[in-house]
Structure 1
Amino acid sequence: MPEPLLTLSGVHTHIGQYHILQGVDLVVPRGGLSVLLGRNGAGKTTTLRTIMGLWKASAGSIVFDGRDITKMATPDIANLGIAYVPESMAVFSSLTVRENLYLAARSGPLDQARVDWICGFFPALKKFWNYPAGNLSGGQKQMVAIARAIVEPRKLLLVDEPTKGLAPAIVQSLIAAFRELKDTDTTILLVEQNFNFVRSLGDTVGVMDDGRVVHAGSMALLATDDELQQRLLGLSLDSHQ
């Protein structure tokens, strides 16, 4: 097992009166792609938002690349090399596709070679380069959100349900993009409900229930063990091919 890039230890998160995360323990190995599975309301999105500092942990610790980021502000966490793609996409609707990507390029002007690489996976971005992002379809906005997160190299990419609303052909492009990212220095933590998608990409997996990680291990093991799938998820991944 590679050394951890990210470690959550006993993390609790309260949102108002609600106790959402109830002692999350999670290790994300450096390199590759880790997946969070679980039913709706299990705490997956809250975990990503807590890592990013959008919601603050009320107890426990979050250590990224050897540094405790539990109490850090979101901009400071982003500056360490973490990018977040929320399920809502959150594109700047009045800005063009180019302007959305330009704002995400923290180190300066867009690297044209990097843009060309991204557009190789998502050709629609080039087609709509000067269109307001708000005029795009849901799937196209998702492309903008993902492209914005990877417009510069990141150490860790947090992605919440990237295939939601995407056509099958775009999902295949996304698989290709994530596979190439896995070969770089980018580590990916992915929340996803498309089981066939994560089975083809995931290296490690955590299954959440009631605000805790109830299972952690190899994605390959979960993908080939119907009994384990039924026990943890109440379904078989094979039924979702």
Structure 2
Amino acid sequence: MAEPLLSLRGVQTHIGHYHILHGVEFDVAEGGLTMLLGRNGAGKTTTLRTIMGMWRAAAGEIRFDGRDITNMPTPDIARLGIAYVPESMAIFADLTVQENLVLAARSGPMDQKRLDWIFGRFEALKRFWMLPAGLLSGGQKQMLAVARAIIEPRRLLLIDEPTKGLAPAIIANMIDAFRELKDGESTLLVVEQNFAFARQLGDSVAVMDDGRVAHQGGMAAFAADSALQQHLLGLGMDTHQ
């Protein structure tokens, strides 16, 4: 079997006096999209932030493309081709949409073809190109946060609840964009509470419970097993369309 693009082994993370991750282990295969699911407080966001080096793992190992990145600084991790879209969106509110994207295109001028592709998925960004990002709606800010992460090709995208607060039409555009990314240049690890979205896009799934990964496997099998969903998540996917 091919070596996974991302691998976590025995990862433990403490935040202050709180022990959040208790030996997290899972793999993300190169290509496709892995959904990271779990109840609120299970440790999903902490896992993404630990991978990105924003919170330091107290124990265990994180490997990306065969390289140990456990103790690397966040900027160095980003330079390897990993981008992170936090739930808080992390945009520059006082800068325009254009300026936000220019700053995210670190390797040089923005590629117009790629920018046009982003506009095709998130038309509001073109419409409000010169507007300060702080004046966008919540859903538009989420679009901008995702656009910042994909304005340049990335090998791995870590995305925390991308559909939160989005209208159904925008979620449909997000699905199209993520599908094209996972079928092309990028591998995606996505935390999501919208199970219909997760089921449509996920190739594989890791389910967290109390700071550990309680299940990992194919999304199709997980989506078909309502008893397992009930056990791990407290509800079935069929209740969230």
Q: TM-score range by the shorter chain?
A: over 0.9
Aligned partners of 2:12 and 2:81: how far apart in 1? 24
**Which residue of structure 1 lines up, in the alignment, with residue 194 of structure 2?**
194
Q: 1:2: how far off? A: 5.3
- TM-score between the two structures when normalised by the length of structure 2: 0.99
User: Where do residues 214-233 of structure 1 align in structure 2 (5 Å cutoff)?
Assistant: 214-233=214-233
SS for the counterpart of 2:108 is coil
**Which residue of structure 1 lines up, in the alignment, with residue 59 of structure 2?**
59
**Which residue of structure 1 lines up, in the alignment, with residue 157 of structure 2?**
157
Name the amino acid aligned to 1:112.
Answer: Q
Structure 1 portions without partners, runs of 5+: none
SS for the counterpart of 1:33 is strand
**Which residue of structure 2 lines up, in the alignment, with residue 211 of structure 1?**
211
Name the amino acid aligned to 1:146.
Answer: V
Deviation by residue 1:155-207 (Cα, 9 ceiling, x = unmatched): 00000000000000000000000000011120000000000001000011011
2:119 paired with 1:119: yes
**Which residue of structure 2 lines up, in the alignment, with residue 140 of structure 1?**
140
Aligned partners of 2:226 and 2:146: how far apart in 1? 32
Aligned partners of 1:182 and 1:11: how far apart in 2? 26
SS for the counterpart of 1:83 is strand
**Which residue of structure 2 lines up, in the alignment, with residue 43 of structure 1?**
43
Deviation by residue 1:99-146 (Cα, 9 ceiling, x = unmatched): 101111111011111100011000000000010000100000000000
Name the amino acid aligned to 2:39.
Answer: R
Name segments (4+ residues, structure 1) moved above 3 Å.
none
Name the amino acid aligned to 2:12.
Answer: H
RMSD: 0.8
2:4 paired with 1:8: no
Distance change (3 Å), C-alpha of 1:120 and 1:21? same
SS for the counterpart of 1:227 is helix
Q: 1:26: how far off? A: 1.1
- TM-score between the two structures when normalised by the length of structure 1: 0.99
Aligned partners of 2:210 and 2:183: how far apart in 1? 34
Q: 1:3: how far off? A: 3.5
Structure 2 portions without partners, runs of 5+: none
Aligned partners of 2:27 and 2:84: how far apart in 1? 18
Aligned partners of 1:27 and 1:195: how far apart in 2? 21
Aligned partners of 1:77 and 1:26: how far apart in 2? 19
Is the contact between residue 23 and residue 60 of structure 2 (CA under 8 Å) also seen in structure 1? yes
Is the contact between residue 3 and residue 66 of structure 2 (CA under 8 Å) also seen in structure 1? no
Identity %: 72
SS for the counterpart of 2:7 is strand
Aligned partners of 1:154 and 1:111: how far apart in 2? 14
Name the amino acid aligned to 1:58.
Answer: A
Aligned partners of 1:98 and 1:3: how far apart in 2? 38
